[in-house]
Amino acid sequence: MFARALGVGILLGCLALAGCKGGGDAEAKEKEGEKKTQDAVPVEAVKVASRPIAASYSGTAPLEARAESQVVAKTSGVALQVMAEVGQEVRAGQVLVRLDSDRAVLQAAQTAAQMRKLEANYNRSLQLSKQQLVSANDIDQLKFDLENVRAANRLANLELSYANVVAPISGVIAERSIKTGNFVQINSPIFRIVDTSRLEATLNVPERELATLKAGLPVQLLVDALPGRPFTGRVDRVAPVIDSGSGTFRVICAFEGGGLLQPGMFGRVKIDYDQRADAMVIPRSALLDDENDPAVYTVRDGKAARASIKLGYYDGEWVEVRAGLKLGDRVVTAGKVALREGTVVQVIGDPVAKKTAAAKPAGNKQ
């Protein structure tokens, strides 16, 4: 009896040890799965998508007015009346300042009187010459004197007209350096007029773009003074001459003025020269820092896989992929620095996969 009881006890002890060993294996496997999950590198990833994309050239340039003029006084005199203020819109030919014109009026009247006197003498001499009472030399001299006085009269009237200072171009008064009662010297600037009806931005573009940028292409403009407000324009003209020193050519873009845009604003210009309506694109942030071999990390079966790709157009934060990926592939956009080929990754936002092993109770026979 004692021997039999001893054998049963040994058997039960062995079964208990086996059960403990099985439970230990299950626990070890669970810990290993949790360790792998904890060792996975957290990354952000997006799917390769399809969207319109544009090929463009971008540059920066200040806005300039199409025309600008310094208004100068063509004669001297006291400013009797100043008829324009800074910010006022004026038309070409509009009177801006009236100067004292008394001296010019007297000179014009004097030369007009001399001209009428010589005209009468000349007409009388012509009548007398028919009676051979006046020589031909005397008539010629009277004719030359008359022409001289007529020219002096035209000059006096021109000087008289200069007493009214007029706007040479249409635009907006940007500066004024005169007040009523000031004495104005001849050729002294008194106004600056800026034509803001059309604004221009001049880009110095590398010569490799000469074949792509043409007049008439659409242009988008962003200015620092008005963030978030795009403006549209057109390429107005392209200079066909390459500057040998810089290797660039000039592209002049035109924009409608008269509104929020003003000369002197600093603009960021983008010229679209081609469009693709259904391009395969990825964010620029997915590209690895290797310009000679464009590549990205994709997520495949929970691991990072490097993929070499062929790029197409760049458009803002997007870049076109011509080969190396397919729609639906997931590319890593954040966390790339810590990745290598085959690195286990955990995409932020995806459910965490846990590997656990359930141990069966020992001795439970079905």
The mean pLDDT of 157-175, rounded to a whole number, is 91
222/225 Cα distance (integer angstroms): 9
Please check whether residues 136 and 173 belong to one and the same domain. yes
Residue at 116 is within a domain: yes
The mean pLDDT of 171-193, rounded to a whole number, is 92
Determine which of 21-30, 264-273, 306-315, 349-358 has the lowest per-residue pLDDT on average.
Answer: 21-30
Please check whether residues 86 and 186 belong to one and the same domain. yes
Residue at 265 is within a domain: yes
Would you say residue 26 has pLDDT above 60? Answer: no
Would you say residue 22 has pLDDT above 70? Answer: no
332/47 Cα distance (integer angstroms): 9
Residue at 257 is within a domain: yes
Please check whether residues 119 and 142 belong to one and the same domain. yes
87/61 Cα distance (integer angstroms): 24
202/63 Cα distance (integer angstroms): 8
The mean pLDDT of 16-28, rounded to a whole number, is 49
Confidence bin at 40 (pLDDT 50/70/90): confident
User: Which of 163, 190, 217 is at the close of a domain?
Assistant: 190
263/63 Cα distance (integer angstroms): 5
Please check whether residues 185 and 86 belong to one and the same domain. yes
Could you write out the DSSP letters of every residue in 301-358? Answer: TTEEEEEE-EEEEEETTEEEEEES--TT-EEEEE-GGG--TT-BEEETTSPPP----P
Confidence bin at 14 (pLDDT 50/70/90): very low
Domain harbouring 329, CATH code: 2.40.420.20
Residue at 292 is within a domain: yes
The mean pLDDT of 65-71, rounded to a whole number, is 90
pLDDT of residue 30: 53
Q: What are phi and psi of 290, to 5 degrees?
A: -150, 95
Would you say residue 61 has pLDDT above 50? Answer: yes
Would you say residue 345 has pLDDT above 90? Answer: no
Please check whether residues 98 and 178 belong to one and the same domain. yes
Residue at 216 is within a domain: yes
User: Which of 275, 306, 331 is at the close of a domain?
Assistant: 275
Please check whether residues 185 and 244 belong to one and the same domain. no
Please check whether residues 283 and 271 belong to one and the same domain. no
pLDDT of residue 365: 42
Determine which of 1-10, 73-82, 260-269, 299-308 has the lowest per-residue pLDDT on average.
Answer: 1-10
Residue 78's DSSP bridge partners are 183
281/47 Cα distance (integer angstroms): 9
Write out pLDDT tens, residues 88-132.
999 999 999 999 988 888 888 988 998 888 888 878 777 777 777
Could you write out the DSSP letters of every residue in 219-267? Answer: EEEEETTSTT--EEEEEEEE--PPBTTTTEEEEEEEEE-SSS--TT-EE
The mean pLDDT of 36-53, rounded to a whole number, is 80
pLDDT of residue 13: 47
The mean pLDDT of 161-173, rounded to a whole number, is 92
Please check whether residues 120 and 213 belong to one and the same domain. no
Please check whether residues 208 and 249 belong to one and the same domain. yes
318/260 Cα distance (integer angstroms): 30
Confidence bin at 290 (pLDDT 50/70/90): confident
Please check whether residues 99 and 178 belong to one and the same domain. yes
pLDDT of residue 38: 52
User: Which of 161, 190, 219 is at the close of a domain?
Assistant: 190
Q: Average pLDDT of the chain?
A: 82
Q: Which helix (H) or strand (E) holds 55?
A: strand 49-72
Q: What are phi and psi of 231, to 5 degrees?
A: -125, 150
Residue at 362 is within a domain: no
Residue at 212 is within a domain: yes
Of 131-135, 259-263, 352-356, which one has max mean pLDDT? Answer: 259-263
Domain count, the chain: 3
Determine which of 101-110, 136-145, 229-238, 346-355 has the lowest per-residue pLDDT on average.
Answer: 346-355
Residue at 112 is within a domain: yes
191 burial type by CB count under 10 A (0-12 exposed, 13-18 middle, 19+ buried): buried
pLDDT of residue 354: 54
pLDDT of residue 312: 84
Domain harbouring 219, CATH code: 2.40.30.170
Between these two residues, 4 and 184, which has the higher pLDDT value? 184
105 burial type by CB count under 10 A (0-12 exposed, 13-18 middle, 19+ buried): middle
Confidence bin at 192 (pLDDT 50/70/90): very high
Token pair in block for residue 102: 């008394």
Confidence bin at 194 (pLDDT 50/70/90): very high
- Provide the domain limits for residue 216: 58-64+196-275
Confidence bin at 250 (pLDDT 50/70/90): very high
Percent of the chain predicted with pLDDT > 90: 30
Please check whether residues 271 and 284 belong to one and the same domain. no
Would you say residue 10 has pLDDT above 60? Answer: no
Please check whether residues 269 and 327 belong to one and the same domain. no
